[in-house]
Structure 1
Amino acid sequence: MRIAFIAHDQKKTDMVNFVTAYEQIFKKHKLYSTGTTGKRIMEATSLTINRFLSGPYGGDQQIGALIAEDKMDLIIFFRDPLTAQPHEPDVSALLRLCDVHSIPLATNMATAEVLVKGIERGELEWRKENLSPKA
Structure 2
Amino acid sequence: MNIALIAHDRKKDDLIQFATAYEPIFAQHTLYATGTTGQRVIDETSLQVNRFRSGPLGGDQQIGAMVAQDKMDMVIFFRDPLTAQPHEPDVTALIRLCDVYSIPLATNMGTAEVLLKGLEEGFIDWRLLGERRG
TM range (shorter): over 0.9
In structure 2, the partner of 1:63 is 63
In structure 2, the partner of 1:16 is 16
Query: Post-superposition shift, 1:91?
Result: 2.7
Which SS does the other structure have where 1:81 is aligned? coil
Contact kept, 8 Å, 2:33 with 2:51, in 1: the verdict is: yes
Greater shift, 89-98 or 32-41, is seen at 89-98
- How many percent of aligned residue pairs carry the same amino acid? 69
Distance change (3 Å), C-alpha of 1:13 and 1:80: same
Are residue 115 (structure 1) and residue 115 (structure 2) matched?
yes
Are residue 129 (structure 1) and residue 134 (structure 2) matched?
no
In structure 1, the partner of 2:41 is 41
In structure 2, the partner of 1:100 is 100
Residues of 1 paired with 2:70 and 2:43: CA distance? 29
Equivalences, count = 131
Contact kept, 8 Å, 1:33 with 1:51, in 2: the verdict is: yes
Residues of 1 paired with 2:90 and 2:80: CA distance? 10
TM-score (norm 2): 0.93
Could you tell me which runs of 5 or more consecutive residues in structure 1 were left unpaired when the two chains were aligned.
none
Residues of 2 paired with 1:107 and 1:97: CA distance? 14
Residues of 2 paired with 1:69 and 1:45: CA distance? 29
TM-score (norm 1): 0.92
Contact kept, 8 Å, 1:74 with 1:104, in 2: the verdict is: yes
In structure 2, the partner of 1:5 is 5
Moved over 4 A (4+): 87-90
